[in-house]
Structure 1
Amino acid sequence: MNTYRLLLAGLAALALSATACTAETTVDSAPPATTVPPGGGSTSTGFYQIVWTVDGTKNPNACAAFGADELELTIYENGVQKQPVVAPCGNFNLQVELYPGVYDADARLVTFDGFAASPVLPLDQLVITSGTTLTSDVDF
């Protein structure tokens, strides 16, 4: 029985390491009205939005197949880690309001108990400008 569990763990690790992640980033001149945080946005802030697919699709069943419950986005400002932000995997979209500046971020899919369901996808040199939305399209 222990050999069987080790074999399953090894296959799961191999599948996770073979997963390819890709990213593409674009800038939009204004944030979508439906994603402005409660209380409204500010002209002195901008937005970072991550839009993701799982295995090339926005089907929630793909999240379940990965064992993914949420997308976890960790933002770094000047190398200092900020509090991670999460969204349900099946949302396929997360937007955060940030002050203008250059940020780095790590995105990954996580299980319901916070364990990695995908490799970490680094998103570097995210330039946030007042009144705009920077969008990264990624695939896990």
Structure 2
Amino acid sequence: MSLPQTAAEALDAFDQCHGWEQRARLLMQWGERLASLSEAERCEGNRVQGCESQVWLIGELRDDRWRFRAASDARLLRGLLALLIARVDDLNAGELAAVDVADWFARLGLSRQLSPSRSNGLNAVLQRMRELIAQHR
């Protein structure tokens, strides 16, 4: 499966990084790309369970393609969310079901920096995405 354009851009950008400091800086910059959620959208119904930090996720289905928006109070997590969304945005349900989060972050060179709790949190976000899709079937 080919990567969405934004995911390919992320992969190119992270391939240029030499070392964790550059990756961390780039990760923070990606976090700034997240569209902000309104206070009303930061409600309990949109909160992702299973994350240590506060994470809210909204998914919208348009023309059989999913678009996601997310927010978090944690700066590093915002970057990870932005990269996850870059990987899954504009996919259909079947394509999204096949996404391997661990592989994606390994390709970006970020897997070593994913603590078990962050990794579990990102998997919880992906699981919530899949739940949103299941609700629309």
Would you say same fold, with TM above 0.5? Answer: no
Larger relative strand fraction: 1
Query: Which protein has greater RCO, CA pairs closer than 8 Å, 6+ apart?
Result: 1
TM-score computed with the length of structure 2 as normaliser: 0.30
Larger Rg: 1
